[in-house]
């Protein structure tokens, strides 16, 4: 019996044994646009992107505008001091990935976050400039603009400069986020100066002006990447870093460069999947999970039924086990990407899958492929020309390392925690790291970001991504399955409650209302340890209805996301 036949029989058996969950309650209708769409975590950023589209800019122009606007209006994750990945598909079919992931400073050492006994010192890789990698966002956005955009820097940075200079009303979400961090901001005078009102928290409706950030944005607008990576802004970054024990130097900033890489290309039930390649682990995980899920009849099993969740959890466990062993920066280590994302390899990984029992993570190790990122934000853009862009960028933790560059107005990241501080140790997302992801000078740390484009009949169909560290690729996989397997529209697919398993810890997380009580009991009897959580991850997506001529936006209510079309 072939492994595929076995998987189909198992899924049919599970459908008979386990009752199906009902689909989630109806969502509000997707936002519609005839000429373009921007979906992001913030209404002002989405508006900045649509204003660029209205002026004749393409999706890349708008994506760059949204990125700079989020650096102003969404400082918990939008950034100039972090990094990320941009996935682009142009109307003619050309596709690419801009890798602007942060890099380890040249003075980094493998044991820089260990004590004398070789034990990780968690706070050193999380708080303060020593936790920061060399920022990549500015170079990445401008590289995309130069190579694939059609407008100038003033056109795309102008909206964010105005927001920083004139200010904008603080939302309830931003007020709560800033207020909750004041005890950690208090370590850094520059953070208190920038994001409190003389020590008092900002309230909903207050106007937040950021004159220092406006100066930085003007320098970038006038001088391009040099306005950030050299001159006054770079000097301020180095001064801030040195003041608090960091190691980023002027040479690190001057030498930084984003990289254009080939995308990962896979398929799921006849749809083409374009997603991020290493040093993001997200795309590899996504394709591994989808390859495994393709071997099950999810529609027959039913949305979030015991059988469907069991199939997803088993697929995720095996993919995350491989992540720990095989993934890292391809410029430094050999990554067997082709083998890992092959359908034959996924079939082999499911050989020990038991349809009736959970697979204890302790018994799941990495496979043999030779046989075949907490605060991130995502946004999507489609234009009237047929171009689409999917962008995920991040500071890693909420407000990064908590330190604002004095006089420049932006937070530095704490991405060094995404390296393997010590093989086998857990990072802030409880991910287990392997040797391929250990710290080396100028190396890019592994990420979970998964900006993705789904193509149907050689046309863009679905553009999506998420925030939530290790929970990103599992979220993207579930939204794709919600659309393709369960026929949901884009808003329903984003709204639907989600589950998550990442191998270690051996716990199946589920959002409230994701699983019915009988499904929870069934999964518990199968051996799963379950934990209900408020949110697994937050996602933004758009869908293109080629037949009807509409672009449909699905913003995530979990983060007050905002879809805007025209």
Give the single-character DSSP code of 84: E
∠ CA(183), CA(185), CA(189), 5° rounding?
125
Question: Is 507 within a domain?
Answer: no
Q: The tokens 């200010």 sit on which residue?
A: 167
Which burial class, exposed, middle or buried, applies to 183 when counting CB atoms under 10 A from its CB (0-12, 13-18, 19+)? Answer: exposed
Domain that holds residue 60: 32-82+109-252+375-435
Task: Determine the pLDDT at residue 364.
Answer: 66
Residues 212-247 have pLDDT tens digits of: 999 999 999 999 999 999 999 999 999 999 998 999
- Mean pLDDT for the stretch of residues 399-413: 97
Question: Is 299 within a domain?
Answer: no
Q: Which of 402, 451, 396, 401 shows the shortest CA–CA distance to 429?
A: 396
Q: What is the mean pLDDT of the chain?
A: 92
Task: Determine the pLDDT at residue 425.
Answer: 72
CA distance 488 to 480: 10
CA distance 71 to 78: 4
How many independent structural domains does the chain possess? Answer: 1
Question: Is 159 within a domain?
Answer: yes
How would you classify residue 430: left for phi > 0, otherwise alpha for psi between -120 and 50, otherwise beta?
Answer: left
- Mean pLDDT for the stretch of residues 438-445: 96
pLDDT at 348 over 50: yes
Residues 478-492 have pLDDT tens digits of: 999 999 999 999 999
Question: Is 295 within a domain?
Answer: no
Question: Is 544 within a domain?
Answer: no
- Mean pLDDT for the stretch of residues 97-125: 95
> Which of the four pLDDT bands, split at 50, 70 and 90, describes residue 363?
confident
Give the single-character DSSP code of 401: T
How far are the Cα atoms of 49, 318, 319, 340, 341 from residue 368, in angstroms, in the given order? Answer: 44, 11, 12, 9, 12
Question: Is 387 within a domain?
Answer: yes
Q: Which of 371, 390, 370 shows the shortest CA–CA distance to 380?
A: 390
CA distance 473 to 452: 10
Q: Is 450 a residue of the active site? A: no
Structure tokens at 51: 């204003």
- Mean pLDDT for the stretch of residues 323-345: 93
Q: DSSP string spanning 50-61?
A: HHHHHTT--HHH
Long-range contacts of residues 233-236, Cβ cutoff 8 Å, at least 24 apart: 233/405, 233/408, 236/405, 236/406, 236/407, 236/408
pLDDT at 13 over 60: no
CA distance 304 to 160: 41
Task: Determine the pLDDT at residue 284.
Answer: 97
- Mean pLDDT for the stretch of residues 382-395: 97
CA distance 260 to 258: 7
pTM: 0.93
Question: Which residue of the set 143, 249, 376, 450 is catalytic?
Answer: 376
Which burial class, exposed, middle or buried, applies to 117 when counting CB atoms under 10 A from its CB (0-12, 13-18, 19+)? Answer: exposed
Residues 58-76 have pLDDT tens digits of: 999 999 999 999 999 999 9
pLDDT at 6 over 50: no
- DSSP 3-state assignment of 378? strand
Residues 458-477 have pLDDT tens digits of: 999 999 999 998 999 999 99
> Which of the four pLDDT bands, split at 50, 70 and 90, describes residue 4?
very low
């Amino acid at each position: 019996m072939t492994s595929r036949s076995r998987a189909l029989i198992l899924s049919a058996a599970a459908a008979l044994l386990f009752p199906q969950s009902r689909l989630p309650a109806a969502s509000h209708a997707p936002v519609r646009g005839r000429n373009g769409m921007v979906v992001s975590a913030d209404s002002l950023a989405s508006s900045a992107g649509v204003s660029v589209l209205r002026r004749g800019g393409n999706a890349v122009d708008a994506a760059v505008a949204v990125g700079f606007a989020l650096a102003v209006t969404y400082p918990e994750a939008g950034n100039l001091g972090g990094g990320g990945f941009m996935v682009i598909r142009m109307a003619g079919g050309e596709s690419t990935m801009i890798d602007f992931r942060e890099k380890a400073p040249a003075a980094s050492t493998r044991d820089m976050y260990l004590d004398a006994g070789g034990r990780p010192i968690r706070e050193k890789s999380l708080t303060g400039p020593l936790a920061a990698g060399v920022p990549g966002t500015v170079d990445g956005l401008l590289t995309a603009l130069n190579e694939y955009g059609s407008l100038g820097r003033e056109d795309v940075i102008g909206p964010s400069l105005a927001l920083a200079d004139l200010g904008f009303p603080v939302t309830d979400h931003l007020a709560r986020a800033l207020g909750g961090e004041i005890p950690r901001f208090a370590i850094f005078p520059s953070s208190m100066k920038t994001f409190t009102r003389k020590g008092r928290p900002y309230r909903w409706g207050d106007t937040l002006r950021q004159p220092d950030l406006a100066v930085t944005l003007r320098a970038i607008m006038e001088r391009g990447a040099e306005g950030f990576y050299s001159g006054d802004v770079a000097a301020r970054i180095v001064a801030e870093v040195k003041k608090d024990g960091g190691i980023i130097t002027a040479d690190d900033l001057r030498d930084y460069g984003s990289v254009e890489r080939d995308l990962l290309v896979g398929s799921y039930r006849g749809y083409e999947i374009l997603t991020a390649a290493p040093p993001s682990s997200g795309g590899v995980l996504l394709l591994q999970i989808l390859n495994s899920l393709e071997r099950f009849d999810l529609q027959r099993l039913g949305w979030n039924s015991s059988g469907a969740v069991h199939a997803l959890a088993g697929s995720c466990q095996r993919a995350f086990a491989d992540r720990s062993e095989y993934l890292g920066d391809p410029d430094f280590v050999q990554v067997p990407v082709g083998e890992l994302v092959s359908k034959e390899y996924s079939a082999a990984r499911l050989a020990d899958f038991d349809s009736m029992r959970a697979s204890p993570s302790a018994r799941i190790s990495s496979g043999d492929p030779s046989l075949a990122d907490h605060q991130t934000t995502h946004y999507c853009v489609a234009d009237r020309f047929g171009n689409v862009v999917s962008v995920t960028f991040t500071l890693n933790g909420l407000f990064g390392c908590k330190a604002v560059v004095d006089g420049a107005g932006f937070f530095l990241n704490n991405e060094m925690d995404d390296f393997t501080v010590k093989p086998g140790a857990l990072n802030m997302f409880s991910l287990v790291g392997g040797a391929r992801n250990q710290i080396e000078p100028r190396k890019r740390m592994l990420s979970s970001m998964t900006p993705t484009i789904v193509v149907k009949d050689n046309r863009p169909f679905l553009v999506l991504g998420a925030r939530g560290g290790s929970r990103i690729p599992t979220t993207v996989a579930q939204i794709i399955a919600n659309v393709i397997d369960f026929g949901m529209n884009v808003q329903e697919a984003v709204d639907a409650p989600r589950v998550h398993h990442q191998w270690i810890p051996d716990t199946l997380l589920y959002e409230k209302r994701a699983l019915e009580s009988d499904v929870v009991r069934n999964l518990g009897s199968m051996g799963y340890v379950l934990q209900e959580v408020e949110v697994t991850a937050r996602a933004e997506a758009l869908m293109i209805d080629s037949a009807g001529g509409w672009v449909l936006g699905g913003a995530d209510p979990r983060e007050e996301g905002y879809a805007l079309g025209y």
